[in-house]
């Protein structure tokens, strides 16, 4: 955890309400969807991997050196993150919890972060984090709905959720399913966009999804996105 201590100071920035969003696009149509991606491989961690945090499911957003970023639903600082089989993977060293935002997880020795996002049958390489504009196609790799894509339809949106209003989100025409919070979004060129916050519409029907941007989290925590 010592390697993360300088970055924990940046958590105050996220605790103030990091909750903007940007979406991803991929070479798939808005109706395209694959089977749910598999859980983490032993020893390797990729975006989209399903782990367990303080409140249950904790989906890896994007990997960084020695760790990964995920949604704050994974828990407060100090929470141990495990595989679905109960094997310890790492610990949350900085978190926006209980606000909507990100957590930074420091991986235990032996776990290797890979600059990819897992999809059914393989993985998509992460190439950067350039925000997608309105109209661009973005795709989500989720554990329940699989690979879903749609166009960005709005930026800097404020959405009222049960816990309160969350400003700065990006909206996309993609259906949403329960259990998708924290799932990552990419563009067709592999640009990391953000993680799922919420939405409406039952897949495979049309719907609306909202995302948290990853770039502010990278800056606030002082980490770099892992690419491949």
Give the pLDDT confidence score for residue 18 in this predicted structure.
35
Q: Which domains does the chain show, CATH number per domain?
A: 2-6+39-115 (2.40.10.10), 17-37+121-213 (2.40.10.10)
pTM for the model stands at: 0.81
Q: Does the structure show a pLDDT above 90 at 21?
A: no
User: Alpha-carbon distance 118 to 40, whole Å?
Assistant: 9
Task: Give the least confident one: 20-29, 171-180, 192-201.
Answer: 20-29
Torsion sign over Cα 46, 47, 53, 56: negative
- The band of 144, judged by pLDDT with boundaries at 50, 70 and 90, is confident
- If you average pLDDT over residues 112-136, what whole number do you get? 94
- Quote the mean pLDDT of the chain: 82
Contacts of 132 (CB under 8 A, 6+ apart): 22, 23, 24, 25, 138, 152, 187, 191, 193
Per the CB < 8 A criterion, the answer to whether 209 and 178 are in contact is: no
Q: Over the stretch 40-94, which tens digit does the pLDDT of each residue have? A: 545 999 999 999 999 899 999 999 999 999 999 999 999 999 999 999 999 999 9
């Amino acid at each position: 955890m010592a390697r993360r201590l300088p970055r924990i100071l940046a958590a105050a920035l996220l605790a103030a309400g990091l909750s903007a969003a940007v979406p991803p696009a991929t070479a798939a149509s808005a109706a395209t969807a694959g089977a749910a991606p598999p859980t983490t491989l032993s020893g390797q961690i990729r975006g989209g991997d399903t782990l367990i945090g303080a409140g249950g499911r904790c989906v890896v957003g994007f990997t960084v050196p020695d760790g990964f970023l995920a949604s704050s639903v994974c828990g407060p600082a100090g929470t141990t993150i495990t595989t679905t089989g109960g094997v310890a993977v790492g610990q949350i060293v900085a978190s926006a919890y209980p606000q909507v935002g990100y957590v930074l997880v420091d991986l235990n020795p032996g776990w290797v972060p890979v600059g990819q996002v897992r999809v059914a049958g393989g993985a998509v390489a992460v190439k950067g984090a350039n925000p997608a504009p309105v109209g661009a196609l973005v795709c989500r790799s989720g554990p329940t709905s699989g690979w879903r894509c749609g166009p960005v339809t709005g930026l800097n949106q404020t959405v009222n959720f049960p816990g309160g209003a969350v400003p700065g989100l990006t909206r996309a025409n993609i259906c949403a399913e329960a259990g998708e919070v924290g799932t990552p979004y990419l563009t067709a060129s592999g640009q990391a966009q953000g993680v799922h916050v919420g939405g409406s519409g039952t897949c495979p029907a049309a719907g609306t999804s909202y995302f948290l941007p990853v770039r502010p989290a990278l800056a606030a925590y002082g980490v770099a996105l892992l690419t491949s």
